[in-house]
Chains A and B, each alone.
Chain A
């Protein structure tokens, strides 16, 4: 019944595709709530230094591993650092990596995919072989190697996870352009004497960008996870910077004394991952109603 209603209901005064997409997105409760949470996490991350009650490195060894109290809402870790503050600052590093890495991947992958899908031939052959080689080596293993060679840290982790994630964007862009290049409106634009680069960017990109945005958002939770994994292993974010993955690592040793030390970052990761996943799914359904 709801599906039927969504099909029939069309926006009344939409003059554009994005209006219609927003209309469809709004109707999806789960996606809407997830989207709000995702945006909230981003806002908290951006305003971390304003919101957080303490600094992420402010220690008070007299109050280490205390449970939740009025002074420390979520308690403190083994060095007496406020967990709430660390979770908030952790959001900043986690989000920077989770969004920065796919961005790097998109910047590398999308142009390669576009060229390969549009021109085909030799370019496509080379790009496809590159896709295959990079798919063969697991992303985590590859990033691990790069970290082993060049060291960890927020910026490097972001860069390495980004470099290793371009294949997905490349494949997607290639598929998009492969199907779009034979459309009648592309032929018509060509017959009007529009230069090729203009057709690629002005005429085709707006039709291809929807799935790319969706893929980007879906990459975010995967990257949160990967980054947390690296930090948990001690390969990513280094002390005293806060990161959810590293906080789990810290808290794991003190589980029996203060559960919130590990629980706080775990809940944060779960919440962020789920929020971005559902928001991404909602976005997919909204931007491409035929994909259901």
Chain B
């Protein structure tokens, strides 16, 4: 059963500290709404629910790729991840999530150094 209320698939949030000391390591929290179906469950009528999950996450900082996550449907629903980042300059942090159906969503947060 897909959700009809609340956040829709693909709604994403990135949380970074308001400001970071130059060269310090900050922790970035990223959350996206996605069902992450394994393809192994059935719905209430017994019909199989097709696999539908985020398979790749690309993290860019100031236009440069700094990390890439390779996921399977073993990541929980509404995937949440925290990872480090060295804040060397004030620049946008961009995260793009791509699912196995080819849909992708991008969210940006500003990393402010000072």
Q: Note whether A and B form a binding pair.
A: no
